[in-house]
A = this chain, B = another copy of it.
Amino acid sequence: MGRWEPDARGRLAKAALALYAEHGYEQTTVAEIAKRAGLTERTFFRHYADKREVLFAGAGELEELFVRAVAGAPESAAPLDALTVGLDAVAEMFADRREFARRRQAVITANAELQERELIKLASMTAALTGTLRGRGVAEPTASLAAEAAVAVFKVTFERWIAPDEERTMQQLTRESLAELKAVTSVV
């Protein structure tokens, strides 16, 4: 047991999601999560600050990846083209996590506090992307609008991607959402 346990982090996340689905997020304790994963509470706390953190640990990674990809887009890329590079990187990161994402979403949808946390993470992502665009020399209000639009595309795409029976990749759905956004705004 302990620090040499292989993939303890992944096992804890899987055990937590299973318990949240079975007994509800509120009712589940860290002790139960550790037990289900065959690990100790001590090991749990080496990987996660609390039971909520299990659901949001990926959000920081997601934001960082998104921002890094946008920052690294060709200098000549227009704002939404740079953001699209980021959206593609995000889609790649999620590629093999669809089932996890579906289960996670079900837990979040059932709990108002978790939904709030999700909104905060998305707002943080929007702010970070706005800052990244400004760093690329994009003026306001363009930077804010482009970042908001990209996060809207991500949100809507993500919801479609985790829908039951949806089999298209996140990248395909991202392209569709971008085309749809373009169609929607082109009539004004």
Contact = CB atoms under 8 A, between A and B. Distances in A.
Max chain B Cβ within 10 angstroms of own Cβ: one of A120, A182, A184: A184
Max chain B Cβ within 10 angstroms of own Cβ: one of A120, A141, A160, A178: A141
Interface in A65-123: 78-81, 84, 116, 119-120, 123
Q: Which size bracket describes the interface of A in this complex? A: 35 or more
A162 interface: no
Interface in A147-167: 148-149, 152-153, 155-157, 159-160
> Does more than half of chain A's interface fall in helix, strand or loop, or is it mixed?
helix
A150 to B, nearest CB: 10
Interface in A4-25: none
A27 interface: no
A50 interface: no
Contact of A152 (B84, B120, B145, B157): B145
Contact of A145 (B79, B119, B177): B177
B148 A152 contact: yes
A181 to B, nearest CB: 5
Interface string A130-152: 00000000001110111011001
Given A145-B156, A145-B180, 7 more contacts: A80-B187, A116-B119, A141-B177, A145-B184, A148-B152, A185-B185, A185-B186
